[in-house]
Structure formats: structure tokens, C-alpha cells
Amino acid sequence: MKNKKFNIKAELELTTWLLGVVNSEEEYNYLLEEKARLSSLVSVLHSIHNKFIERRYC
């Protein structure tokens, strides 16, 4: 549960930062799309890591 709280906090901080940095709605939307792609990649990497750990220790 601690990781989930950290992820929500990090997500909020990143979104707040994006709002302060971007110059246009188009740029903001582009950065949100890139952030979503990175989030998907991180999810896949976490899944692979978890499966590796399961196989190694089970």
C-alpha cells in the first residue's frame, strides 16, 4: 500500500510540474501522452521483474 501512496503522490507532483512548465495545451497533452507511455513501460517492467522473482524463489 505504501508504494501506491507514493505513486499517487509522484503522479500529482508530476502533473503539477507539467502545468507550471508547459506553454500550450498541445504541449501539455503531448507530455501527458509521453508520461502514459512511460507508465505503461514501467508496469510491464514491474510484471517481468515480479515473474522473475516468483520463478527464482518458488
Q: Structural domain boundaries of the chain?
A: 2-57
pTM above 0.85, yes or no: no
Share of the chain above pLDDT 70, in %: 88
Q: What angle do CA 38, 51, 49 make, to 5 degrees?
A: 40
Q: How many percent of the chain have pLDDT more than 90?
A: 5
Rounded mean pLDDT, 13-24 = 75
Integer angstrom CA distances of residue 33 from 5, 30, 53: 22, 5, 30
